[in-house]
Amino acid sequence: MGGGHIRLPDGVEVEVSKFSFMGGDDVRLGDEVVAPGSPVIRLRLVSIMGGSSIRRGRKLSRKECQRARELRHSERRDELNPLARPAPRITQRSLA
């Protein structure tokens, strides 16, 4: 009834096998193409009433997380509020 978080470096090949019972595993490694002959990390995840998350790359700093959150919120605000963006102008030429 807990979880584990694993961060893997860039530039390594990762092989994951997993089993979950009353839990879940979240593996997000991206689409990075690894050079031939690079090191291989093999992970075997067994989660019982818990979960694991695996990510590639470094952890973002607190300021980077805050900036990303602000960008997501501003984009969401723009989508929800049509008055925030100028409306396209309709002219006689565009109707013809």
User: Does position 1 have pLDDT exceeding 80, yes or no?
Assistant: no
Mean pLDDT of 21-42: 83
Residue 85 has what pLDDT?
57
Enumerate the domain spans of the chain.
Answer: 3-82
Q: Which pLDDT does position 2 carry in this prediction?
A: 76
Yes or no: say if 58 and 7 are a contact pair by the CB < 8 Å rule: yes
Does the pLDDT of residue 56 top 60, yes or no? yes
pLDDT beyond 80 at 37: yes
Query: In 1-40, which positions are buried (b, 16+ CB within 10 angstroms) versus exposed (e)?
Result: eeeeeeebeeeebbebeeeeeebebeeeeeeeeeeeeeee
- The per-residue pLDDT of the chain, averaged, comes to 79
pTM above 0.85, yes or no: no
